[in-house]
């Protein structure tokens, strides 16, 4: 999903900063769902199918969660009840949940202490909570366009689906056969002479020994 200028973007906001939440809601730029903590958010994102210790012992693989929520971005405060915002982001990556959605961390106190760590972890952007909704909207629009144009293509998109065997054209094949035959005829005396020379040399060497 991608918004156009003037069209509200659909976002999930995770946190409890009432001032920031009110500012975003009143801007009219977003259709926003608010979750107070990471656990409730991840249940909502997976339609309540997520289980903290859920895994398939027989297949020895993690479950695949269906992404039913249509989102443009996730905005998450750095400090949320139960876990840090960065820990929540890493949990999404660990379980491969909504990894293609824009993820922005919002820091309530403007220290920037987590910014470098967050960006290194793969977070799309990092802002102070008092950042204006207009700036956040503009940034999400840019990131959506950037990911659409420059994100790596899925592996299946890079695989050539035409698996039909390559056939050499008849004219080229005929030409190759003719050239090879002529070359063999021309080189036959040289090859024969070389074979005789090797045999004579071997015979002489055996008598000397």
Residues 179-197 have pLDDT tens digits of 888 877 887 787 777 777 7
Q: What is the pLDDT of residues 49-95, one digit of tens each?
A: 887 655 444 445 667 777 888 999 999 999 998 889 999 999 999 88
Coil, helix or strand at residue 28 = coil
Residues facing 106 on adjacent strands: 77, 127
- Please tell me the predicted confidence (pLDDT) of residue 56: 47
What's the whole-model pTM score?
A: 0.65
Secondary structure in 3-state letters for 152-177: CCCHHHHCCCCCCCCCCCHHHHHHHH
120 φ, ψ to 5°?
-65, -30
111 φ, ψ to 5°?
-110, -30
Q: What is the pLDDT of residues 193-205, one digit of tens each?
A: 777 777 776 665 6
Q: How does DSSP classify residue 76?
A: E
**Cα-Cα end-to-end distance for the chain:** 87
- Please tell me the predicted confidence (pLDDT) of residue 157: 47
Please give the distance of CA 191 from its chain centroid, rounded to a whole number: 58
């Amino acid at each position: 999903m991608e918004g156009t200028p003037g069209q509200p973007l659909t976002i999930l906001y995770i946190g409890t900063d009432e001032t920031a939440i009110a500012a975003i809601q009143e801007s009219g730029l977003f259709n926003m769902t608010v979750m107070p903590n990471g656990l409730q958010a991840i249940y909502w994102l997976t339609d309540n199918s997520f289980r903290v210790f859920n895994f398939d012992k027989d297949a020895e693989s993690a479950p695949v969660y269906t992404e039913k929520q249509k989102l443009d971005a996730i905005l998450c405060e750095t400090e949320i009840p139960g876990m840090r915002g960065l820990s929540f982001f890493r949990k999404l990556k660990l379980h491969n949940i909504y990894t293609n959605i824009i993820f922005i961390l919002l820091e309530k106190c403007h220290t920037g202490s987590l910014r470098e760590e967050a960006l290194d972890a793969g977070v799309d952007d990092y802002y102070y909570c008092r950042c204006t909704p207009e700036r956040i909207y503009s940034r999400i629009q840019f990131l959506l366009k950037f990911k659409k144009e420059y994100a790596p293509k899925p592996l299946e998109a890079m695989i050539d689906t035409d698996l039909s065997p390559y056939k050499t054209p008849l004219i080229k094949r005929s030409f190759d056969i003719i050239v090879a035959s002529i070359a063999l005829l021309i080189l036959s005396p040289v090859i024969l002479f070389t074979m005789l020379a090797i045999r004579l040399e071997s015979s002489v060497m055996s008598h000397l020994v």
